[in-house]
Amino acid sequence: MTAYSVPATWKGEDRMKTSTMRYRLFLGLIGLLLLLGSVSGSVWASGPSIGGQWEAKLSGVLDDDPVKLVGTSSLSIDLQHQTGPVAFDATLKIAGSMGDKDAFEFDMDTACLNYMARDYDIRFGKQRVSWGTAMGLNPTDVINPQDINDPLGDKLPVWALVGQYYLENNVELTGVYLPFFRPAIDAIPTKPQIPVYYPEEDGEWAVKIGALGMAGMDFSLMYFSGYERMPTVRMTARGMEGYYREVDTIGADFATSLGDVGLWLEAAHTTPKEGDAYTNWAIGSDYRLPNGLLVAGQYYHQETGKTQHDYLMFGLEKELAVIHRGKLGAVYDTDSGSFMVNPEVALSLADATELVLGGRYLDRKQGGLGMLPYSDKEIYAQVVTSF
């Protein structure tokens, strides 16, 4: 049986030490990159390439009376540099709430070293490893924890060592090692007083073999050995406690096209060391009409071992007057009858600037769509500038 450490909420000092160790390791690797650059004769004085994106969003939450206005802004700065076969890239993020001078947060979102050879790549650092072919929710995408504040958006980055070996016939073999465990949350949302215990052994690993364009199909098989990202509650001699179950997950994904119709299927079967096994799967299709309208739909079956949910996901997207675009997203919970509708229009103000106008309507029934933390009724305007 796996031993578990002290509660996550009691580990502030240890976690700070671990974080310091991670950054020292990263700085050491940056030094190695500089050394390799000097050996290869590269001229670092030319500087890295710098880009990024600035976003400002103003939302009106219609659930409240009077309407509550919420303003947020974020700045992402992307740094890249390559010297011979070695590349470095990092994304720095600054985010905050408008009107609150103390609410700004600075974070190194991702930071990686990448060594690129003819037949293989090796990548180490804080990164996202995206697996799967499904739309929005991917059963085999188990490396990174879900961002509970935006479940349909980017996942949280993790420290990982990733190696990819390229075989003949567009076949790729990928190996991933995670030296530090990172959960989606470290407390029980409905019962924050219950202590949550971290795994004592952090190391997790995964492998995947995939083929691209083989007989008109893309497919892959994967295996993951590690821990769930959400805590499970159990009763012990010490009382109620939360812990992260050790699991083995095997999965596969498949994508192809029949004429103008795209098809995909993805599934993952998870076996915990404690508790019942469960299977998550998704099947979907998309089609672009002659008028340019893209229509996509997906059925997603989600299990946790004790509960299960089935969702219908639907999306529309179309260019408007060449430089603008409109989108409509919808999710329907077949178990509770809850649904969400999210229309958006993106207007191009300049070559790299968009104004996004949208709204979101959530009708929750019997606790359905609990995975979506959004306000039930909201309208918003967002300016996005890339540089």
- Distance (Å, rounded) from C-alpha 198 to C-alpha 221? 29
Q: What is the pLDDT of residue 2?
A: 46
Q: What are phi and psi of 322, to 5 degrees?
A: 70, -50
296-351 pLDDT, tens digit each: 999 999 998 778 899 999 999 999 998 999 999 999 999 999 999 999 999 999 99
Q: Which residue has the higher pLDDT, 97 or 88?
A: 88
pLDDT tens profile 287-311: 999 999 999 999 999 998 778 899 9
Residues contacting residue 258 through CB under 8 Å, at least 6 positions apart? none
pLDDT tier at 6 (50, 70, 90 boundaries)? Answer: very low
Encoding tokens for residue 147? 């961002």
pLDDT tier for residue 102 given thresholds of 50, 70 and 90: low
pLDDT tier at 101 (50, 70, 90 boundaries)?
low
Band of residue 7 on the pLDDT scale cut at 50, 70, 90: low
Q: Is 44 helix (H, G, I), strand (E, B) or coil?
A: helix
Q: Tokens standing for 377? A: 């009724």
Q: Are 69 and 59 in contact (CB under 8 A)?
A: yes
> Which pLDDT belongs to residue 191?
87
Flag the least confident range among 8-12, 26-30, 210-214, 299-303.
Answer: 8-12
pLDDT at 64: 78
For residue 66, say if its preceding peptide bond is cis, omega within 30 degrees of 0: yes
CB-CB contact of 189 with 152 (8 Å): no
Residue 28: pLDDT band (50, 70, 90) is: low
CA nearest to 175, candidates 227, 225, 230: 225
Q: Which residue has the tokens 């997790």?
A: 204
Give me the percent of the chain exceeding a pLDDT of 70.
Answer: 87
Q: Residue 366: its pLDDT value, please?
A: 81
pLDDT of residue 15: 46
pLDDT(27) > 60: no
Average pLDDT over residues 218-226: 97
The single-letter DSSP state of residue 183 is -
Whether residue 256 is predicted with pLDDT greater than 80 in this model: the reply is: yes
pTM for this predicted structure: 0.85
